[in-house]
A and B are shown apart, each in its own frame.
Chain A
Amino acid sequence: MIPLSWYLAVAAILFVIGFYGVLSRRNAIAILMGIELMLNAVNLNLVAFWRYTQPDQVAGQVFAIIVITVAAAEAAVGLALFIALYRLRGTVHIDEIDLLRG
């Protein structure tokens, strides 16, 4: 069986890639994709921990399902907001969206 640490390493790398995407991208949709990547990394973690530490309880698995749902809801709300903003401003580049400064 593949040791647990391998799954954790993959999840950590996935998380860091998502993290990098959030920090480096300037397009709001790409940032959202980075966030989704981070959430999926956590899912991998949750399922791996569930499988290796307590396969008799389903808590970790159920948590992963809920996280998938939340990620979908977040994407739906996010994309809807982006569309509304795009109609108004013609862009979703966060550098060009800078009305609020102080």
Chain B
Amino acid sequence: MPYGYVWLLIMLGLAAGVAMMMMFLPLLLGPRNPVPTKYEPYESGMKPFMLPRRRFPVHYYLVAILFVVFDIEILFLYPWAVILRDLRWFGLVEMGVFLGIVLVGFVYAWRKGALEWIR
């Protein structure tokens, strides 16, 4: 075995060490003073007047997921916009192709009814 693998072992050891530390330090260092106020959501705030665990309609998550996917597309537009002048027509066409593929996804989601709020 080459000597260099030692570093990999050291890194693995460090990773394990930090993980163990995170598990055991709270047991040692954490003060324990169980008074009833400790178990309230806000120890020094107002009393909660309703359970926060309401159910959201799951459709909300679907729309959020779709948003994330289309949101990331913008990320590619920024660097493209910076050098658009150098790329000239080629850049425009290529971004058109990229957006076209994204558009196909959008049309698909639309036609399949993923954007309807109530089904």
Q: Which residues of B contact A79 (CB under 8 A)?
A: 61, 65
Q: Considering the complex, which residues of chain A in the window 10-34 have a beta carbon less than 8 Å from any beta carbon of chain B?
A: 12-13, 16-17, 19-20, 23-24
Q: How many A residues are at the interface, by size bracket?
A: 20 to 34
Among A13, A16, A65, A68, chain B packs the most CB atoms within 10 A around the CB of A16
The answer to whether A19 and B72 have CB atoms under 8 Å apart is no
Instruction: Specify which chain B residues have a CB less than 8 angstroms from the CB of A23 in the assembled complex.
Output: 19
Contacts of A76 in B (CB 8 A): 65-66, 68-69
Identify B68's interface contact among A12, A13, A24, A75, CB under 8 A.
A75
* Contact mask for chain B residues 42-86; partner A; CB cutoff 8 A; 1 contact, 0 none: 000000000000000010011001101101100110010000000
The interface size of chain B toward A, counting residues with CB under 8 Å, comes to: 19
Given A16-B15, A16-B18, A83-B62, are A68 and B75 also a contact pair (CB < 8 Å)? yes
Q: Which of B15, B68, B71, B76 contacts A19 (CB 8 A)?
A: B15
**A20 touching B75, Cβ below 8 Å:** no
Is there a chain A Cβ closer than 8 Å to B92's Cβ?
Answer: no
Residues of chain B touching chain A, judged by Cβ–Cβ distance below 8 Å, are: 11, 14-15, 18-19, 22-23, 58, 61-62, 65-66, 68-69, 71-72, 75-76, 79
